[in-house]
Amino acid sequence: MVPGDRPPKKSVDEPAEDSDGLSCQHCGTKVETVTKYCPRCGRLLKTDKEEPSEPRNIKRSLLFLGRDVGVAVLIVLIVLGAIFAYTRVWPPMVVVESSSMQHRNDISYIGVIDTGDLVLVQAAPLRSDVTTWVEGKATGHMTYNNYGDVIIFNRENDPTPVIHRAIFWMNYNATRKAFDIPDLANLTLNVLWGGFYADGSAVRSPYGLNGTIWLAQSGWRGDMNMTFNLRTSFLNTPEHPHDGYVTLGDNNGRTYDRTPVLQKDVIGKARGELPWFGLLKLTLAPSPTSCCHGWGDLSAPKNSWDSLLFALLLIILSPILIDISTTLLAKKKKAGAEEGAEEEEGKKPISSDAKKRKTGDDEVKRDSPDEVAQEDGVKADFEGGGKEK
């Protein structure tokens, strides 16, 4: 038999031609059994075949949906419960419908009560629960960039509560037919406050006041001298004079409310705010005499509408952006883990069995048809040369 006619031996290095089998992408060895690593080189196998996904389980999906809805409802109840525990008033928030508390008509500010803000209402059933402007001026107590508390109260023949700042509390003195404002005693007479009795003489104390009084450095800028005519505004009126708060909107200049607010009419005092979002309610259910008749109504500052639009877009897009970011990070992490596993497998020492298989493969490689033919030719030449000698 001619040496070159030997049938070629199949090299184990050749990748498998069987489409149903799996071949190692590193050495080309055909892998017949289900395994994660190549039995020859010991490196991690890769496959492009996707594992069949489990059929959708409707019942399980409904259980997960119910769980998510339950968690969302629980969170809402916890938040509302916490708000109610703090405010002790229901509903715990009110929507500001007018500009009476704004500090500018064309611009809204965080920390100032503007049209369209949602304001928390904390219960204030007692006189001691409210700090007036006069008290705040003496103690330094400020809310919403001005002295004293802002109160929410009911007004007779008006279904909509009013939100104004409490300037001072006065007690009606029926014996003297005058008012006593004891909190004025904490301010310097004829410097921060003063006034005149009905007979024109200057006041000497905060008791028995029946004429006018003035407050210096008032207003949210602290640049006004406010005058309150107790006689015409509160004494000589069809209503019987009574105790109460004298209130004023920060944006109402010198026009104070002419009816003292009774303690029983106080719903609560303003605490905190959620800016702009009340504009949604005012747009869907506008107030007949206030804001808002359509989106962008200039009854509310323009920057409030702009801020609301930005906030809504952020709320809508945030879950989508978070989901995309989470998916990208997960893919990046998975790719990094696979790359690390491959590097780790490359550094892993080859087992003795793998070494034996590799040695056998090398021997098989050397026993290729060309090498056998070459060896037989050399041998024939050698034998022929010996005969000639």
The answer to whether position 185 is within a domain reads yes
Q: Is it the case that residue 44 has pLDDT exceeding 90?
A: no
CB 219 within 8 A of CB 226: yes
DSSP 364: H
Give the domain range for residue 288.
Answer: 89-301
Quick: pLDDT tens for 95-108: 999 999 999 999 99
Same domain, 41 and 127: no
3-state SS track over 164-233: EEEEEEEEEECCCCEEECHHHHHCCECCCEEEECCCCCECCCCCCECCEEEEEEECCCCCEEEEEEHHHH
The answer to whether position 35 is within a domain reads yes
Domains: count for the chain: 2
Same domain, 93 and 226: yes
pLDDT value of position 282: 93
Burial class for 113, CB neighbours closer than 10 Å (0-12, 13-18, 19+): buried
Same domain, 30 and 165: no
The answer to whether position 290 is within a domain reads yes
Q: Is it the case that residue 278 has pLDDT exceeding 70?
A: yes
The answer to whether position 374 is within a domain reads no
Whole-angstrom CA distances from 17 to 14, 22, 147, 389 are 9, 9, 87, 52
Q: Is it the case that residue 319 has pLDDT exceeding 90?
A: no
Which of 264, 279, 301 is the last residue before a domain boundary?
301
Same domain, 33 and 114: no
Quick: pLDDT tens for 97-140: 999 999 999 999 999 999 999 999 999 999 999 999 999 999 99
Q: State the sign of the Cα–Cα–Cα–Cα dihedral 132, 256, 268, 93.
A: negative
Same domain, 93 and 39: no
Same domain, 232 and 95: yes
Between 158 and 43, name the one with better pLDDT: 158
Same domain, 131 and 247: yes
The answer to whether position 125 is within a domain reads yes
How far is it, in rounded angstroms, from Cα 278 to Cα 120?
12
DSSP 9: P
Same domain, 164 and 25: no
CA neighbor of 256 nearest in space, from 133, 160, 119: 133
pLDDT value of position 378: 45
Cβ-Cβ contacts under 8 Å for 128 (sequence gap 6 or more): none
Same domain, 189 and 239: yes
Same domain, 185 and 258: yes
